[in-house]
Amino acid sequence: MDNQYLLLTPGPLSTSRTVREAMLKDWCTWDDEYNKGVVEVIRQQLVALATESEGYTSVLMQGSGTASVEATIGSVIPTDGKLLVINNGAYGERIGQIAQYLNIAHTVLDLGEVAQPDADYIAQQLDQDPAITHVAMVHCETTTGMLNPVAAVCDVVKARNKIMILDAMSSFGGIPMDIGVMGVDFMISSANKCIQGVPGFGFVIAKQAELEQCRGRARSLSLDLFDQWACMEKNQGKWRFTSPTHTVRAFHQALIELADEGGVAARYQRYHTNQRILVEGMESLGFRCLLDASLHSPIITSFYSPEHAEYDFKRFYTLLKEKGFVIYPGKVSNADCFRIGNIGDVHNQDMHRLIDAIRASMYWA
């Protein structure tokens, strides 16, 4: 192993040596080699990964994935608009918090943490409140590992001429999708997820005609999505403020490695097989999944904690870390769980090794 352990989390995640080595050079943010040769190439490749439809563009935003979500929510919705937030986990809830902080009119459709959104129910909510102009939903809710039915939800949203905002933070690049076919207007993701880059920036892939309507709407200077995009368009990749150059260069290398692997379809297959090995192995050891298998994503899985009186997550975590694996605590409010991710530079043999390590770490058994 190149690292001291594998990060079995929803991101940041384990990266390849070559992605990390890409950060060993400094880059000038004014130089064409960086702006045209790296940033603009990334922007074009992101759009190509997202859709075969015409009319889409992309913009990169400094900061965490949440910063890009906040930039989108704060820049896209006009003062007379209203947002419907579909919430079935911590990250849907966070979108509602952003709307509240920014004083954006909104309604949160709280579905709990173990239920998928129902498209017919969402259609009813939209029909009952014609003031709603925008709808936001998380694709893969890593609170539980649930994959939400984005195509069905998009169908009812677009049938009513609403703007669809999709938080695809932990799914884009790891699950095949065409946002143009689905009708997504704004899709948000981050460098340190399924593309397998490192933290430092997020990105938004948007219908250009809709993004062009966002001039002057932003509630923040540094998170003005339109101004960032306009600057990159005018100056061929130049960021308005300091670019996270090392992270961007690592992401450029990560995109090369995604293509070398066979693209999103091949990466999805690896993740899907990783998750199957994980679940089968965990169940063979007596662990139970929080969600029904039909709701699982290939990204991260929640497991109920053992009910044994001597079980302690921190001790279990430490034993696994000593064996080269870092897992994630649970985030479900009404169940004692922990989570194990299988994305990043993690392969089938790693999941088999993980199951062996978990077996050897079950001190309570």
10-45 tens-digit pLDDT: 889 999 999 999 999 999 998 999 999 999 999 999
Q: Is 94 annotated as a binding-site member?
A: no
Does the fold of domain 263-360 match that of domain 18-259? Answer: no
- Taking the domain 18-259, which CATH number applies? 3.40.640.10
At 332 the pLDDT is 85
- What's the pTM value of the predicted model, to 2 decimals? 0.97
Q: What is the third-level CATH fold of 263-360? A: Aspartate Aminotransferase, domain 1 (3.90.1150)
Give the long-range contacts of residues 244-247, CB within 8 A, separation 24 or more: 244/62, 244/200, 244/201, 245/26, 245/27, 245/29, 245/34, 246/22, 246/23, 246/26, 246/27, 246/200, 247/23, 247/191, 247/197, 247/198, 247/199, 247/200, 247/201
At 10 the pLDDT is 87
For the chain, domain boundaries: 18-259, 263-360
Q: Is the dihedral of CA 247, 252, 253, 258 positive or negative?
A: positive
At 2 the pLDDT is 78
Structure token pair of residue 33: 């080699």
The residues of the chain scoring below 50 in pLDDT are: none
pLDDT, tens digit, for every residue of 321-356? 999 999 999 888 889 999 999 999 999 999 999 999
Q: Could you write out the DSSP letters of every residue in 46-105?
A: HHHHH-SSSSEEEEEEES-HHHHHHHHHHHHS-TT--EEEEESSHHHHHHHHHHHHTT--
